[in-house]
Amino acid sequence: MARRILIARLSSLGDVICGLPVAVALHEAFPGDEISWAVDPRFAGIPLCCTAIDHTILVRKPTDVDPFRPFDVAIDLQGLLKSALVVARSGASVKVGYHWQREGARLFSRPVLPDPTSIHIVDQYVDVARALGATMHTARFGLKPLAEDLDDMRRLLAEQQIDATRVEGRFVVLNAGAGWASKRWPPASFAEVALGLRERGLHAVFIGAGEADRAAFREVAAAGALDAVSLLGKTTVRELVALLTLAHAHIGGDTGSSHLAAALGVPAIGLYSITRPERSCPYGQIDRCLYSPHALSDIAPAEVLALVDRLEG
């Protein structure tokens, strides 16, 4: 009998992306089951673009999950009270979750301990699906941009004189922002990379949303990257899936768009310092990560450009 499965991972962008292989693994193992994903509306574009997810439930508060349509299985991939309450309202007889549970979340679901060989957070998430009978040796994310979003992004790029359908229209997406200031690479370093991309015939396209991201881009431009393109605040999460699908590569720190690029199979050059690349790098691309145990500022722009050059080889 087909089951109704609920996955609760409400936020943030990178974590929602990293959890997608759970849905893919369950969909492949049990193709008749119906999979729903509970998510904060700000990040709903991610499950909406995942081919393994049947329904996206927008959760502003736990009561947004209808207890009168009970699920058979509920999975808490967040391990916080807000996700635990969603699982509690699911009515599921089987409730499991990611092993790192806080705020009393383990009162509502059984934590699944990761396999000792699962170092990356994506693989630890997949261990939860494995506990339910799924098999997945290499994580797959099932992300596919919507056709209308691809058209919109091509038009948006064309407004910036970038024709993504031509070789000379190749562009690299850069994200100078991050959730924590300590995860931000210096704007002057981003500016030097943007100038180096221009010398290589590549457009530098910056993305972001908040005021801190805009301030970082202003510093990048002031440092000399005057022809860098700003798409800050001009894309939804769903459109970002399409934009990165068209990109030659992505450059950024430990932030959501880095994980999105990797999930789409786009080369993702990662800049890391306070977090371990082995656990949180763009999945499957640790060879494209640069790491300094002391400070991000120790990573030289020339090192980043050398990785860009390797993409051309």
Last residue of a domain, one of 72, 107, 131: 131
Please determine, for residue 285, whether its predicted confidence score (pLDDT) is greater than 90: yes
CATH code of 189's domain: 3.40.50.2000
Q: What is the dihedral of CA 268, 35, 41, 156, to 10 degrees?
A: 50
For the segment 1-39, what is each residue's pLDDT rounded down to a tens digit?
899 999 999 999 999 999 999 999 999 999 999 999 999
For the segment 56-101, what is each residue's pLDDT rounded down to a tens digit?
999 998 888 887 789 999 999 999 999 999 999 999 999 999 999 9
Q: 182 falls in which pLDDT band (50, 70, 90)?
A: low
Say how far apart CA 129 and CA 26 lie, in whole Å: 6
Residues 183 and 102 in one domain: no
| Number of C-beta neighbours around residue 307 at 10 A | 17
CB 168 within 8 A of CB 179: no
Residues 103 and 162 in one domain: no
Last residue of a domain, one of 66, 100, 131: 131
Residues 161 and 109 in one domain: no
Residues 66 and 159 in one domain: no
Residue span of the structural domain in which 216 resides: 147-312
Residue 40 lies in a domain: yes
Say how far apart CA 185 and CA 46 lie, in whole Å: 26
Alpha helices in the chain (DSSP H): 13-29, 45-48, 81-88, 121-131, 147-158, 187-199, 211-222, 237-246, 256-263, 277-280, 301-312
Say how far apart CA 60 and CA 39 lie, in whole Å: 8
pLDDT of amino acid 179: 61
CB 77 within 8 A of CB 7: yes
Residues 118 and 167 in one domain: no
Q: pLDDT > 70: what percent of the chain?
A: 98
Q: 302 falls in which pLDDT band (50, 70, 90)?
A: very high
pLDDT of amino acid 183: 72
Residue 309 CB burial class (10 angstroms; 0-12, 13-18, ≥19): exposed
Which tokens go with 132?
Answer: 């339910």
Residues 178 and 61 in one domain: no
Residues 164 and 261 in one domain: yes
Residue 142 lies in a domain: no
Rounded to two decimals, what is the model's pTM?
0.96
Residues 80 and 105 in one domain: yes
Residues of 107-145 as b/e, b for ≥16 C-beta within 10 angstroms? ebbebbebeeebebbbbbbbbbbbbbebebeebbbbbeb
Please provide the average confidence, as pLDDT, over all residues in the chain. 94
Residues of 11-28 as b/e, b for ≥16 C-beta within 10 angstroms? bebbbbbbbbbbbbbbbe
- Half-sphere exposure (Cβ direction) of 152: Cα atoms closer than 13 Å: 15
Mean pLDDT of 102-131: 97
Which tokens go with 161?
Answer: 């004189």
Residues 62 and 205 in one domain: no
Say how far apart CA 294 and CA 236 lie, in whole Å: 34
Q: What type of residue sits at position 280?
A: S
pLDDT of amino acid 313: 56
Residues 168 and 296 in one domain: yes
Residue 140 lies in a domain: no
Residue 71 lies in a domain: yes
pLDDT of amino acid 181: 62
pLDDT of amino acid 54: 98
Residue 137 lies in a domain: no
Residue 141 lies in a domain: no
Residue 286 lies in a domain: yes
Residues 112 and 18 in one domain: yes
For the segment 154-174, what is each residue's pLDDT rounded down to a tens digit?
999 999 999 999 988 999 999
Residue 154 vs residue 275, higher pLDDT: 154
Residue 165 lies in a domain: yes
Contacts of 55 (CB under 8 A, 6+ apart): 34, 35, 36, 37
For the segment 203-230, what is each residue's pLDDT rounded down to a tens digit?
999 999 888 888 889 988 998 888 999 9
Residues 11 and 38 in one domain: yes
Domain count, the chain: 2
Mean pLDDT of 267-284: 94
Strand partners, 34: 4
Range with the poorest average pLDDT among 163-177, 178-192, 279-293: 178-192
